[in-house]
Amino acid sequence: MQPYTDIKQPACILCGRGLEVCPLFRITCREDMSPRGKAFLLANIGMQGISSREASNLAGLCTGCGRCADVCPQNMDLPGLIARLRFGHPQWKSWLFSRILTGGSFYLPLLAQGGRLFPESSVGRSLAVPRGNAGSLFRVQPPRQHSGRAVIFPGCLGRFVRRDLEKKAASLLTSAGLDVLPVPDWKCCGFPLGQAGYLQEQQSSMQSNLKTWEELGRPQVYVFCATCRAGLTSSHAAQGLPQEIQHLAANTFLLSRVLPDSRIEFLPQEPPQELVWHEPCHGTKDTAPALQNLLLKAGLNLKVASEQCCGLGGSFRLQAPDLSLKLARELWQNILPEGPGLCLTECAGCMIQLASTSPPGTTAVHWLELFQDEDTEHLT
């Protein structure tokens, strides 16, 4: 793994485009929190009295949303550069976050239980895994015919805590005519590990997932977490991996892709006062339109809010809890200014952040929770 100082970096031209889209700069108005402020720190490590550890501590105050990289005319991937700096100077909070991800079968159920036992504690509120009570609006029906093989990548949350989401995903895929394979022993998608600076663990997870996929015969892979999709398909995260990773990326899809092909029945009941969609930072913007079309058939409207970072940012919630919560409060004021409603999303991290910060009377859930529970016989 190349150290940060050995990587050739594009130069920041101080255009201000990253500053305009940075959620941290928006809430702090601090230049050192802006992308160009962090770029200056990274470019001047070892000079002007700036040590790499000091730069890592400040530059690490980043949610990893990627907005600055999307608009940068120099193609600077600032979150990626910060991840490599973190790799050289790991912090205990990032270490804790990485252990939770790599040991999900042990830690995630424990955290979920802790959140239920101590709901008013700071840890309980930050890390408790949400279990929504959205009420079912839809039920899937059996398919007319089968066409193709698929496997679910449920992510750490779906695999170890929210198995109900995995089952709902299997029902949708089956309804769309796909033969769903048993869920194998996937590892973490790698994306949050990379953001936290654990690049070797990220590559190890991706290599393991690639091997698992090939052993299954290279079926279509469906995910219901936007960050998991980013982890399995991001080319920048596949550095040093075999070219076959691109084949896995090309066969990885968000679950919402099958909504138009699924046989779905509307269940008449009292709808939520307001339905709103939160687009994850690493989403594709494809799920909201698919859900809008489905809900319109039932006479319901889904409001798509302006894109904002929820503030979780992987380990960012642990590293800068005050800033993280400030971002969450700002988001809620913008998407539901007039009070109670139901907020849908498709990222495990966003679910945790939104559910733990939602205003009274408002619920935040994964969009799969709109579907009635169905028994499936093909899950392990």
| pLDDT at residue number 49 | 62
pLDDT of residue 238: 42
Return averaged pLDDT per consecutive 10 residues of the chain, 380 residues in all: 55 89 93 86 68 65 90 89 74 57 52 43 50 76 79 90 91 93 93 83 90 96 95 64 81 95 85 88 94 91 89 82 92 82 92 88 91 58
CA 172 to chain centre: 21
pLDDT of residue 117: 37
In this predicted structure, what is the pLDDT of residue 379? 39
- What confidence score (pLDDT) does residue 197 get? 79
Question: Helix H segments across the chain?
Answer: 17-21, 23-28, 35-43, 52-59, 67-71, 78-88, 92-102, 104-117, 122-127, 155-160, 163-175, 191-195, 199-215, 226-233, 244-250, 287-297, 316-319, 321-335, 348-357
The whole-number pLDDT of residue 380 equals: 39
Per-residue pLDDT, 97: 59
Q: Is the dihedral of CA 207, 348, 126, 289 positive or negative?
A: positive
Q: What are the structural domains, with CATH classification, of the chain? A: 13-89 (no CATH), 138-258 (3.40.50), 273-370 (3.40.50)
From CA 292, how far away is CA 295, in angstroms rounded? 5
Q: Quick one: pLDDT at residue 9?
A: 67
